[in-house]
Amino acid sequence: MKSVLTAAAIAFAAFVAPVAQAQETIRFAVTDIDGLEALQKEMGPFKDAFEAASGLKVEFFPVSGRTIAVEAMAADQVDFVLTGPAEYVVFNARLDAQPVVTWNRPDYYSNVVVLDSSPITAVDQLKGQKISFGEIGSTSQHLSPATLLAEAGLVYGTDYEPVFLKRNVAMEALITGEIAAIGLNATHIAQITEKFPDHKLRVLVKGDALPNDVLLASAKVPADVVAAVRATFTDHGDALLAAITTSEENEKYIGGSFTATVSDADYDGVRKQFENVGVTEFTKFVGE
């Protein structure tokens, strides 16, 4: 009887052994961090905390943007990618990548703003004007602000001319009257206000909370590894968040959290945003 119990105990221990035994290293990329040096600087504390909590090792895979990241996943060079909502839609359409956990950002919503001194008081008054957006294809700086305008009756590229200017350049153009409004997120309003203290912005229209950044997994990653990564965020979220936000570049996550109960359907609203800028196929990034 003793030998039977011993054998059972050994079998059980093997069953619950850490998933790291099946895959000890996961390859990890971030679409908006360019190069290995920056990746190590901005995500190094997270890497250390995640490895300690999960028993998995993290191998950084540097990319120079979202296109390189999706190509790397297609070539089976990367397992997990941290990216934005719009980028997730493309990863999913092209590679059947699945969401693992969202990285939630406080006050993550879009706005369309004008100068406080502008005579424009309603969205329909922007008809026939130039409106600047941030990075083309960005959820919070392009797709969502354009959707706010669409919901107010303005057709993208028909009722107004979309242009894409860097934030400070856009603000200068707004001051000189070269453009009538800017689409951006709440964090950018604070940054512009600090940069241009003599020129106050007024929010013409404000959007609802956006779907969050997401850690996604390649369809080739074993289900037990995905489950282990998800469980690490669920069980050690506070420690991981504290590690992530030690970097100045990750301050946007301060006060945030992680959500492991994420599904592909949570990003259907982003697919609608694609359609609002005239894109009905999701296999390419907007602007490519």
CA-angle at 252, arms to 234 and 188, nearest 5°: 150
Note whether residue 27 is domain-resident: yes
pLDDT digits (tens, 9 = 90+) for 193-247: 999 999 999 999 999 999 999 999 999 999 999 999 999 999 999 999 999 999 9
pTM to 2 decimals? 0.86
| Residue 261, pLDDT score | 95
| Residue 12, pLDDT score | 36
Note whether residue 285 is domain-resident: no
Note whether residue 273 is domain-resident: no
| Residue 20, pLDDT score | 41
CA dist 119 and 161 (Å) reads 19
Q: Facing residues of 94 across strands?
A: none
Question: 216 and 83 in contact (C-beta within 8 Å)?
Answer: yes
| Residue 23, pLDDT score | 56
| Residue 248, pLDDT score | 86
Note whether residue 281 is domain-resident: no
Q: Which residue from 216, 211, 212 is spatially nearest to 70, judged by alpha carbons?
A: 216
Which pair of structure tokens corresponds to residue 281?
Answer: 């196929």
Parent domain of 218 = 2-105+211-267
167 and 27 in one domain?
Answer: no
Residues of the chain under the 70 pLDDT cut:
1-23
